[in-house]
Amino acid sequence: MVVIIADDAGFTDFGAYGGEAHTPNIDALAQRGAQFSRYYSSPLCSPSRAMLLSGMDNHRTGHATIIEVLAPEMRGRPGYTMRLEPGVVTIAERLRQSGYRTYATGKWHLGHGEGDLPNAHGFDRSFVLDASGADNWEERAYMPYYQTADWFEDGERAHLPENFYSSQFIVDRMIRYLDADSARANEPFFAYLAFQAVHIPVQAPREITAHYRGAYEGGWEQLRANRWRRAQELGLLPTGAAIDAPHPSLRPWASISGDEQALYARSMEVHAGMLEAMDQSIGRFISYLQSRGLAENTIFVVTSDNGPEPSNPIADPDFRRWMSLTGYTRRMEDLGERGSFVMIGPEWANATATGSLYKFTSGEGGLHVPLIIAGPNVIQQRIDARAFVTDIAPTLLERAGAPLNAPAMDGFSMSALLAGETPHGREPLIPLGVEVSGHSALYRGDFKLVRTPPPLGDSSWRLYNITQDPGETTDLAAQMPELLASMLADYQAYAERNGVLELPPGYDPQAQVAHNTRMKIYQHYWYIFAGIGLVGLLLIGGVIWLVMRLFKKRPA
């Protein structure tokens, strides 16, 4: 069993979903397996990864949100401890009890305190990054919240090789682990490949980025329209469905200067190049399994943890100063290469998400992501039944014949659905709730209830027929008050059952991450601030002493 998780890939980013990036290996899995059109995750990485690995709601795992945006009032509360809490059992632990070898490489972001790393949660071998992201070319932090990029091998602090590139290394290390366990070659294995692509900083080799020269010069409105149209042509969205108007905070392409347009277009070229570089490494891993005679008896899962990343940290003067101090640049001539910091920003993120908004939010752009499953007893099909990230663990466990012991999972097995034996995994009318940092949604039947807090929304509950209106263009709340009330009751039951906490008054995730980052900077560099303070006190003391001396010398 191989689970491949991309970081921040939008619903239409892979070629099989209508994207421009060359992803032939991912596309081949889609062509011979099941390609989902209505698969949902959470809007942030740690909650999604905890749910994928456990089959449990994120609040039950301890990762209700990510530590970088956690409000102080919530810190340490049940469900908000930012670690896999006692009693949470991962799919790796369950599979290992059934005789599987278990491996993890890539991004973890589920804690690195005592007992928090993969070796304490069922993985025989692991080489993982415990941070929201890191540089893709070297062992280097990507934002001032982190002082270092913390990689761990089998629970111990580890370091990267000189010739590191994240996608290549993640696969190389997985192959090394499988080769090293040749004595156990007859035992089944579970491989968790968690790529950094396409999390910021977006980085890719120049020779791959060059494949996309000129592809994005038409701007984000054009790309958004093209992606929406292609998704409909592929049958992934209903024909004729409208797309929502861009959020008022998003800039029109024509409003930015020609130089900015060129830089943003090149940034998307790097984004596509990073997806292609990831796909190339996936292809190498599949070829390796084929050479060992393992590929035909392997289930492959390919997905993304959440929608595309909208953050534009370069707009913050403090971040630009940090870039200057650390040597990061944003130049056209080497964009995406070593030492270069690239992000695509909210406008491109909204275009690649296809639906409303993007990562961090419970709009379709934050939750609606690709899912491909291929392998034995998975028939070639497009699956329009709704599926959720918690469904992956019970599906794989059922395929492995592993017992589903306590704790109970929130997900539903899709094994019969993949085999073409039933039209659904989870019954459509069973409510499906999601909440991360106040961004909330509930799906039931054809409908979606959604709430977006400030600054992107007003915290009002809106109601959409998400089957007919995946663009979230027509709010039905006023027209269907009874359905609204019924789904609100379902959401409240979900929130109470899973221990969802209300946000503190005035909470803003972007302001919170800025505050948390400042606190981390003070923690990391306290000695510098202490030194500055001491020098300041000495200067003030010196001025006072000098003034007193002058007054003493004046004649009476």
The CATH number of the domain holding residue 387 is 3.40.720.10
Residue 253 placed within a domain:
yes
**Residue 235 in this model has a pLDDT that exceeds 60:** yes
Q: Are residues 217 and 301 in the same domain?
A: yes
Q: Are residues 296 and 383 in the same domain?
A: yes
Q: Are residues 543 and 410 in the same domain?
A: no
Residue 426 placed within a domain:
no
The Cβ of residue 330 has, within 10 Å, a number of other Cβ atoms equal to 16
Residue 524 placed within a domain:
yes
Summarised one tens digit per residue, pLDDT across range 353-374 is 978 999 999 999 999 999 999 9
Mean pLDDT computed over 522-550 = 65
Where a domain ends, among 418, 449, 481? 418
Mean pLDDT computed over 19-39 = 97
Q: Tokens for 383?
A: 């699956």
Q: Are residues 436 and 386 in the same domain?
A: no
Q: Which positions are catalytic?
A: 45, 109
Partnered with residue 380 across adjacent β-strands are none
Expressed as residue numbers, the domain containing 476 is 432-498
Q: Which of 95, 101, 279, 281 is nearest to 179 (CA)?
A: 101
Residue 58 placed within a domain:
yes
Summarised one tens digit per residue, pLDDT across range 78-136 is 999 999 999 999 999 999 999 999 999 999 999 888 899 999 999 999 999 999 999 99
Mean pLDDT computed over 439-454 = 96
Q: Are residues 336 and 443 in the same domain?
A: no
pLDDT, residue 554, reads: 59
Residue 410 placed within a domain:
yes
In percent, the amount of the chain with pLDDT more than 70 equals 93
Residue 160 placed within a domain:
yes
CA-to-CA distance for 186 and 360, rounded, in angstroms?
Answer: 42
Q: Are residues 453 and 384 in the same domain?
A: no
Summarised one tens digit per residue, pLDDT across range 152-181 is 999 999 999 999 999 999 999 999 999 998
**Residue 538 in this model has a pLDDT that exceeds 80:** no
CB 34 within 8 A of CB 415: no
Q: Are residues 408 and 480 in the same domain?
A: no
pLDDT, residue 403, reads: 83
Q: How confident is the model at residue 532 (pLDDT cuts 50, 70, 90)?
A: low
Q: Which of 461, 491, 494, 490 is nearest to 476 (CA)?
A: 461
Altogether, the residues listed in the chain come to a count of: 556
Q: Are residues 203 and 158 in the same domain?
A: yes
Q: What are phi and psi of 527, to 5 degrees?
A: -65, -30
Q: How confident is the model at residue 533 (pLDDT cuts 50, 70, 90)?
A: low
Q: Are residues 398 and 463 in the same domain?
A: no
Residue type, 10: G
Q: How many domains does the chain have?
A: 3
Mean pLDDT computed over 467-487 = 97
pLDDT, residue 244, reads: 85
Summarised one tens digit per residue, pLDDT across range 262-289 is 999 999 999 999 999 999 999 999 999 9
pLDDT, residue 181, reads: 87
Q: Which of 111, 49, 52 is nearest to 86 (CA)?
A: 111
Where a domain ends, among 392, 418, 444? 418
Dihedral sign, Cα of residue 167, residue 173, residue 177, residue 182: positive
**Residue 525 in this model has a pLDDT that exceeds 60:** no
pLDDT, residue 199, reads: 97
Summarised one tens digit per residue, pLDDT across range 42-87 is 999 999 999 999 999 999 999 999 988 888 888 999 999 999 999 9
**Residue 188 in this model has a pLDDT that exceeds 60:** yes
CA dist 336 → 66, 231, 268 (Å): 26, 28, 10
**Residue 529 in this model has a pLDDT that exceeds 90:** no
**Residue 524 in this model has a pLDDT that exceeds 70:** no
Q: Are residues 334 and 466 in the same domain?
A: no
**Residue 556 in this model has a pLDDT that exceeds 60:** no
Q: Are residues 482 and 533 in the same domain?
A: no
Whichever domain contains 462, its CATH number is 3.30.1120.10
Q: How confident is the model at residue 555 (pLDDT cuts 50, 70, 90)?
A: low
Residue 503 placed within a domain:
no
Residue 142 placed within a domain:
yes
Where a domain ends, among 498, 519, 537? 498
pLDDT, residue 439, reads: 95
pLDDT, residue 71, reads: 87
**Residue 395 in this model has a pLDDT that exceeds 80:** yes
Q: How confident is the model at residue 204 (pLDDT cuts 50, 70, 90)?
A: very high
CA 419 to chain centre: 28
**Residue 515 in this model has a pLDDT that exceeds 80:** no
pLDDT, residue 535, reads: 66
pLDDT, residue 540, reads: 77
pLDDT, residue 534, reads: 65
pLDDT, residue 521, reads: 64
Transcribe 172-223 into DSSP letters. HHHHHHHHHTGGGTTS-EEEEEE--TTSSSP---HHHHGGGTTTTTT-HHHH
Summarised one tens digit per residue, pLDDT across range 291-343 is 999 999 999 999 999 999 999 999 988 889 999 999 999 999 999 999 999 99
Q: What is the mean pLDDT of the chain?
A: 92
Q: How confident is the model at residue 549 (pLDDT cuts 50, 70, 90)?
A: confident
Q: Are residues 343 and 311 in the same domain?
A: yes
Q: Quick one: how many helices (H) and strands (E) in the chain? A: 16, 16
56-60, 347-351, 545-549: segment of lowest average pLDDT: 545-549
